[in-house]
Chain A
């Protein structure tokens, strides 16, 4: 099976702009999660989508949003970019079919999108 793919791999934007990142999960996986990685804060959970519904959300401002399509592909959007949004954004997919409770399955990560805000 093909792994998790993310596009674009690199992105440079300026403050105030908005950006959309895309993630295609492993075929058959219905759960897609997004994470932000920065040197200062480490790996932080943004949100998770399962069957087109946001199932969980991290502690990020409303400028960060996402969605999932019927084919499980997901996008995340960041509006009004700030310098502090510069980070590696990672997407992960899981085959978990559970609708409730903590996860039990492995999450597989994509290569990430490196966002630089100038």
Chain B
């Protein structure tokens, strides 16, 4: 089962624009992670935000977390064609290192 939903399912923007993806989750979390996946390849870790953090930055990425609403957002600023990929949020559930993923957002950045 999926931990949560991501919105939108697909997003198409022009290079240079900002892209925002949202993730909602169901259970309480210790942290939430965002991953990128290029066309059926492995997952690349982007950023981890802990439950006591509200916002975190990494380069052109900004992640927010609202634990009261059980939601997170990923903002990619000044997008590039190379940012074209699927983006997933994930959180640990059920003990150990079991990650449960959202449904993903497919981002397409056009030249």
Interface size class of A (residues with CB under 8 A): 20 to 34
| B48 pairs with A112, CB closer than 8 A | no
- In the complex, the answer to whether B96 meets A103 with C-beta atoms within 8 Å is yes
The bracket for how many chain B residues form the interface is: 20 to 34
Whether B97 pairs with A103 at a CB distance below 8 angstroms is: yes
Q: With a CB–CB cut-off of 8 A, which chain B residues contact A4?
A: 42
A108 near B95 with CB under 8 A, answer no
- For the complex, give the distance between the alpha carbons of A94 and B99 in Å: 11
Bound-state Cα–Cα, A17 to B49, Å: 42
Q: Which of A31, A90, A108, A109 has the most CB of B within 10 A?
A: A109
Whether A104 sits at the interface, judged by CB under 8 Å, is: yes
Task: Assess the A102–B48 pair: CB atoms within 8 A.
Answer: no
Q: Complex: how many Å from CA A45 to CA B1?
A: 9
Give me 20 A-to-B residue pairs in the complex whose CB atoms sit less than 8 angstroms apart, sorted by A's number: A33-B99, A43-B88, A43-B101, A45-B98, A45-B99, A48-B98, A50-B96, A56-B95, A88-B40, A90-B42, A92-B43, A96-B97, A102-B30, A102-B95, A103-B92, A103-B97, A105-B97, A107-B99, A112-B41, A114-B40
